Chains A and B, each alone.
Chain A
Amino acid sequence: MNSTPILSIDELVENASAPDASETQEYFINMGPQHPATHGVLRLLLKLDGERVRKIVPVLGYIHRGIEKIAENQSYRQMVHLTDRMDYLSAIINNWGVSMAVEKAAGIELNPRIETIRTIFGELERLRSHQLWWGVMGMDLGAFTPFLYCFRDRELLNDIMEKTIGARLTMNYIQPGGLMHDVHEDFVDDVKGFLKGFKSTIDEYDQLLSGNVIFQERVRNVGIMDGATALDYGATGPVLRGSGVAYDLRKVEPYGVYDQVDFDVPVGTTGDSWDRYWIRIEEMRQSVRIIEQLIDNIPDGKHMVVKMAQKIKIPQGRYYSQVETARGVLGTWLVSESEKKEGAYRVHFRSPCFNNLWTLIPMVEGDLIGSLVACMASIDLVIPDIDR
């Protein structure tokens, strides 16, 4: 990590000057907040020397909606719908994160049916997220066809979700104490039918993009980051695993029914953009494997162990719980002031994208601006998750 003092934006602009006429002049350029490759409203202040990126300053806050503050004024049940809108590409897993934190604190015991269905939906959501990321990564690097392929298959998954949940994007499905509804009667058949086709679809994805020479040139040995740096920056998820650290919360600290299923954690070797790409493709295969093991053995039982009308209250104290979303570790920190109050005194989310964003700095500084786009695509940022 570099140890230069932290400067304000004005100071940075002032310090940039060419001391000698023979040297090239460094200049500043804004990438964002309205930019097609930042997938949202991220603003990066870039100090460029020709086409080389000398310094990256991420400027945040363009979609800061104060979710943590709003959550303080709501009850534990009402809080769930806000987490949908944080990392909207893994909405169900976010629901799961906050629900798990509340359940742990309130001491609610769940039955195996709830845990199994949660795990299946969590993996379906991971599939959906990685699949979208694959299409968008292709689009960022100049290939438009992957986008069409990924949305062809995303709509199939959307249909399955919609049948049970009724929503296509913001799910609000997993609640403290269970699930909003029981699964649709066609759910098992639908998922089986989808997986049957999707296994060959992953191979199709591989053949379409992975072997492409231009794509390989853009991602191989680009944005290399070693495991120690990734840990320093607090990176999690495929970014950390791409750098060779086999840390997956589903293995390390199993929740749901992940301890009862058999799956592998893919780990990268060099820590470049290609490794992060390859890990997500492999994770899709592993997700299919997990769902296949669970889909036939959904136990019977209720879908909700706490009545919907019952108020959930938490004893005084501080509680932390975390889940592995498609992008990394999402932690939920709850502070309960008293047992009588229905809502939290303070809520904090440790969101994966916030930490993963800063890994851009060791990855890209000194590299070309074209590599910046490739690295950003391989990190898979969701901006409302950074700003909350």
Chain B
Amino acid sequence: MGIATDHLPGVVEQLPGGSVLVTSFDSVINWARANSLWPLAFGTSCCAIEMLMATGGPRHDLARFGAEVARPSPRQADLLILAGTIVKRMAPRLRLLYEQMAEPRYVIATGACTISGGPFIYNSYSTVRGADEVIPVDVYVPGCPPRPESFFHGLLTLQKLIKTESIRQPGVRHKPVLSELPDGIKVEDIQKEIVALLEGEATVDVNKAAQAKPWPKGT
């Protein structure tokens, strides 16, 4: 595989019709990579139960997506699942684990803590505000903790992302993406629904209250 991915594009692409061969190789390699992700289970706290254990359990069954071979060693894994808070003491170890993983390597950050610090973002002297301060992250799955279904959605998003890669530019990272919404649901619909819900249960008219508030002079 190393020869195919490293040297093939440079040799073959100059030949007539070589681009077609490279593209075909792309689709085969991406198909293989996307459907046999071996995760490194990096569970530090609560999310580990939902992300790494419940997904592997019989009801949700991670094996349906070809990613059930959870490895505790970074050298045998190509997907790093971050589940739980990263604190300052753990950050160098996380960096080390990430660097020990072989290319190509992917990272899914699950849960509020690994995205931004989550519930420990304020007044904490030890929490790292998001794992992306330490290592690059490919897919973020929000929640505290996310449901296993939403983790699967993140995994499928990563698979889609992998399928757009090319061996012409190995190691080129993609922009981080949020796990996208299911078909038929738009962000505007969710916003409308939330507004209706809030206004329905509100006891205080927020606009009125804001206008009635005496603002300090000079602002």
Contacts from A to B (Cβ < 8 Å): 33-36, 40-41, 61-67, 69-70, 72-73, 81-82, 84-85, 88-89, 132, 147-148, 151-152, 154-155, 168-170, 383-384
Contacts and interface: CB of A to CB of B under 8 A. Distances in A.
Given A33-B93, A65-B120, A66-B125, A148 B58 contact: yes
B42 A70 contact: no
B66 interface: no
Given A63-B87, A63-B90, 16 more contacts: A33-B90, A34-B93, A36-B72, A62-B89, A63-B45, A69-B125, A73-B122, A84-B46, A88-B49, A151-B54, A151-B57, A168-B145, A168-B147, A169-B145, A383-B44, A383-B45
Contacts of A81: 119
Contacts of B42: 34
Contacts of A88: 45-46, 49
Given A34-B97, A151-B53, A169-B49, A61 B72 contact: no
Nearest to B121: A70
Contact of B57 (A64, A82, A147): A147
Interface residues of B, number: 34
B89 A64 contact: yes
B184 to A, nearest CB: 24
- A-B pairs, top 5 by smallest CB distance, nearest first, are A151-B57, A88-B46, A36-B72, A73-B123, A66-B124
A36 to B, nearest CB: 4
B39 interface: no
Interface in B33-59: 41-46, 48-50, 53-54, 56-59
A148 B50 CA distance: 14
Contacts of A66: 120, 123-127
Given A148-B58, A151-B59, A170-B145, A65 B126 contact: yes
Contacts of B46: 84-85, 88, 169-170, 384
A151 B58 contact: yes
A343 to B, nearest CB: 11
Contacts of B44: 40-41, 62-63, 383-384
